[in-house]
Amino acid sequence: MKKTQVLLLTLFSFIGILMLVNCIINFEGTSLYQLLFWMFIAGLCESLPVYFARNRVVTVTLAVLLTLQLSHGTYFTTLVAASAAIFYLIKTEDGSSKHTFNLPYYKTMANFSNFTISAYLSGLLYDFLVDKLNISVNSPYMILVIFMYFTATFILNTVLVSVFLRIVSGSPIIETWLHNTLWCWPNYVAIAPIGYFLFVIYKNVNGMLYIIMMLGPLLLARYSFKLYLDSKEQYYKIIQTLTATIEAKDKYTVGHSLRVAYYVERIAKKLRFSPGRIESLKVAALLHDIGKIGINDSILQKPGKLTKDEWAKIMEHPRIGLKILDEVSFNPTIKNAILQHHEKYDGSGYPEGLAGDQISLDAYILGAADAYDAMTSDRPYRSALTKEQAVAVLKKESGKHFHPRVASALIEVLEEEKSEEIKLTDTGMKDLVNSEHYQLSKEIALSAESRKK
């Protein structure tokens, strides 16, 4: 690391240490075993994260900190928060362990500073609001105070993460915050009731015993959710395998499904589709050519013009694809888009010859993205069009082959990406099929070799 980076991280760590020292000096009125008990609970919560995607995790540690803020105050809470940043043990997918002593020192410094500073400053805000409003924990106004506390913790925590990433990797703070951390706000909000519930239990006689008894159901809930995420992971791997199978039949279409999914996602966002609907569309894009598995290779890779009979067989691939997926519990939107993605706005498409509103908007989006990538890719029978030539075709065929709204949205997307460098990442497939909890990476990259600019 550069000296400037080391100095900045050291500065943040020094601020965190000063706050921690202040908490130790002012810490009083609580037995040591209570402090150790909550350090253990917080460390356990931090050791059992739920992964929503690569590098995107949620823990219930914040619920524990809210419980302590309500019951023991800022100094106690900050001490526990600082310990949670240091004393944890996370088992990774490959069976190895991740803990403070095998992480790069700067990550430990960043985690410690983040936990300590955000807990301390949020606690001071909580104390200020409670004092000014003169309310108790049982007051209905406490809901507002808790909301402010959680909001402050969220902003401090995520902004500090973005600052650390800026120091270490040079990534823009605002862009990083909006893209990589804003997604977890709903999870923060959902955790708040858990923290208050734990507080209500804890303030009773033998509260610590009740907290221990609560660990069983909480761990079971986490395990159940992890099983759900694991099954979703297998779902994505099946899609990846099917996509690879499709593209293995035709060297000219390698990367085609990924690129179509990329454009589908961008068009759908332009049209303000919901995250769930966008996910279904992206899955449809990855599998839209699955019916070509049933088409003879000699037809798919024929260098010259297809005969009438050969073209008739090609036109059956949407129906074949639907038959292949009939036994799979995909969203009907996915199957319908795959069946109709070669239909045209004016009724000249296939396999049904549908027109206008008979065709779903999802299918129009998939069809436009598919057509654009086909136009700008080399094929056995022709060279790729330039982006400008393809855009000219989109404009000419808007209202004929393409739905006007979809064609307009795709043209906007293409104009916006003129200055962007798009590359295919190793994790593009997994990120591309992510749901709203598996937020899409900054850009799904497309390889420069696989498409002609």
441 inside domain: no
Q: Looking at residue 162, which CATH number applies to its domain? A: 1.10.1760
How many domains is the chain partitioned into structurally? Answer: 2
Q: How far apart are CA 115 and CA 93, in angstroms?
A: 25
The reply to whether 347 falls in a domain is: yes
- Has residue 437 been placed in a domain? no
SS3 annotation, 119-159 = HHHHHHHHHHHHHHHCCCCCCCCHHHHHHHHHHHHHHHHHH
Rounded to whole angstroms, the Cα distance separating 77 from 72 reads 7
Same domain, residue pair 194 and 238: no
- Cβ contact 178:165 at 8 Å: no
**What do you get for the CA distance between the two ends of the chain, in Å?**
37
pLDDT score at 432 = 43
Measure Cα distances from 216 to 184, 204, 223, 443 in Å: 25, 19, 11, 40
Q: Kindly state whether residues 30 and 175 are assigned to the same domain.
A: yes
Residue 156 and residue 10 in one domain: yes
- Of 184, 203, 222, the residue that ends a domain is 203
Query: Do the domain assignments include residue 440?
Result: no
Compute the Cα dihedral for 125, 128, 133, 139 and give only its sign. Answer: positive
Q: What share of the chain is helix, strand, coil (3-state, %, to 5)?
A: 70, 5, 30
Do 124 and 244 belong to one domain? no
Same domain, 255 and 147: no
Residues 176 and 298 in one domain: no
- Reduce the DSSP state of residue 306 to 3 states and report it: coil
Q: Rounded to whole angstroms, how far apart are CA atoms 61 and 84?
A: 8
pLDDT for position 446:
34
In the numeric block, which tokens belong to residue 202? Answer: 């804890």
The pLDDT assigned to 52 comes to: 60
Residue 191 phi, psi dihedral angles, 5° rounding: -75, -25
pLDDT for the residue numbered 424: 37
Residue 180 is classified by DSSP as I
**Are 55 and 186 members of one domain?**
yes
Q: Is residue 446 part of a domain?
A: no
Q: Which amino acid is at 211?
A: I
Whether residue 377 is contained in a domain is answered as: yes
User: Are residues 173 and 254 both part of a single domain?
Assistant: no
Residues 26 and 68 in one domain: yes
Do residue 177 and residue 246 come from a single domain?
no
Contacts of 380 (CB under 8 A, 6+ apart): 252, 301, 302, 303, 304
Task: Please classify residue 316 by burial: count the beta carbons closer than 10 Å to its beta carbon, then call 0-12 exposed, 13-18 middle and 19+ buried.
Answer: middle
Per the domain annotation, does 220 fall within a domain?
no
Contact (Cβ atoms closer than 8 angstroms) between residue 275 and residue 289: no
For residue 316, the domain's CATH number is 1.10.3210.10
Host domain of residue 303: 233-432
pLDDT in tens, the chain (453 residues): 677 777 888 888 899 999 999 999 988 766 788 999 999 999 988 888 876 655 566 788 888 999 999 999 999 999 999 999 888 887 766 667 777 777 777 788 888 899 999 999 999 999 999 998 888 888 888 999 999 998 999 899 888 888 887 887 777 788 777 776 677 777 778 888 888 999 999 998 889 999 988 887 877 777 777 777 777 777 777 787 877 777 776 666 668 888 999 999 999 999 999 888 888 899 899 889 888 888 887 787 777 788 888 888 889 999 998 988 887 777 888 999 999 999 999 999 999 999 999 999 999 999 999 999 989 887 766 778 888 999 999 999 999 999 999 999 999 999 887 544 443 333 444 444 443 333 333 223 333 333 333
User: d(Cα 339, Cα 350) in Å, to the nearest integer?
Assistant: 9
Residues 327 and 197 grouped into a single domain:
no
Query: Nearest-5° angle of CA 227, CA 228, CA 229?
Result: 90
Q: What is the DSSP letter of 30?
A: S
| pLDDT value at residue 421 | 42
Residue 451 lies in a domain: no
Contacts of 8 (CB under 8 A, 6+ apart): 167
Angle (nearest 5°) at CA 303 between 302 and 309: 40
Same domain? 251 vs 316: yes
